[in-house]
Structures are given as structure tokens and as C-alpha cells.
Amino acid sequence: MTWKLFAATFWLIFLAELGDKTQLAVMLQSAIHGRAGVFWAASLALVLSTLLAVFLGGLIAKVVSERVIHAVGGVLFLVFGLVMVYSAIRPGPDIQPILQAVEKPAED
């Protein structure tokens, strides 16, 4: 293990998780149920999900070339980004009642 790889991975994950829905859920849980139990449960959950990702990444690297992994990852990020942009531009049926209420205020 190199320290450069360690630091790059640490900062990548740390910054990506700031403000993430997982962090918000942990903040809510700790506000309601206390800090110690929530801290240990959330920490263990993150460690196990990371362990699973590292394990599966190792298996995938044995079967698929690094070039293919980069290409598939890039395409997936583009697809997810386009889906997010599309959903922001064209909201689904769950938002329609809210939009209608805003456009036509209730009559007294």
C-alpha cells in the first residue's frame, strides 16, 4: 500500500460522503437515538459495504481488463447523469400534485 493511494482514496470517499443521504440519515438517527450506538452501527455498515466493494472489485479485475472497467464506469456515470438531468427537467407523476397546487392556489 502506498500513502499516496491511501490519501487519494480517503479524500475521495470523505468528500463524496459529505452531505450524502447516508450522512443525513445518521445525523437524524443520532439526534433521536443517541450517538454511541448510531456511530458504531453506521461505522460497521460503511466498513462492510466497503469490504464488499473491494472484494467484488478484486473479482471483477480478475475477469475484465482495466480498460473495460474504466469504459463501463464512464458510460454508467454518463447514463446516471443524463437520467438525473432528465428527471430534473421532466418531473414524474409524484410531483404533479405539488406543481398543480403551486400553479393554482386553492380558492377560499
Number of domains in the chain: 2
Helix or strand or coil: residue 90?
Answer: coil
73 belongs to a structural domain: yes
Examine the domain organization and report whether 45 and 69 are in the same domain: no
Q: Is residue 57 one of the residues assigned to a domain?
A: no
- CA 104 vs CA 12, 18, 98: distances in Å: 45, 37, 10
Tell me what pLDDT residue 92 has. 66
In one-letter notation, the amino acid at residue 67 is: R
User: Using one digit for the tens of pLDDT, what is the confidence trace for 22-73?
Assistant: 888 899 999 998 899 999 999 999 999 999 999 999 999 999 999 999 999 9
Q: Is residue 56 part of a domain?
A: no
Residue 78 has pLDDT above 60, yes or no: yes
Q: Do 43 and 70 belong to one domain?
A: no
Dump pLDDT digits (tens) for 10-26: 998 888 888 888 888 89
Domain residue limits at 74: 64-108
User: Is position 17 within any domain?
Assistant: yes
37 burial type by CB count under 10 A (0-12 exposed, 13-18 middle, 19+ buried): exposed
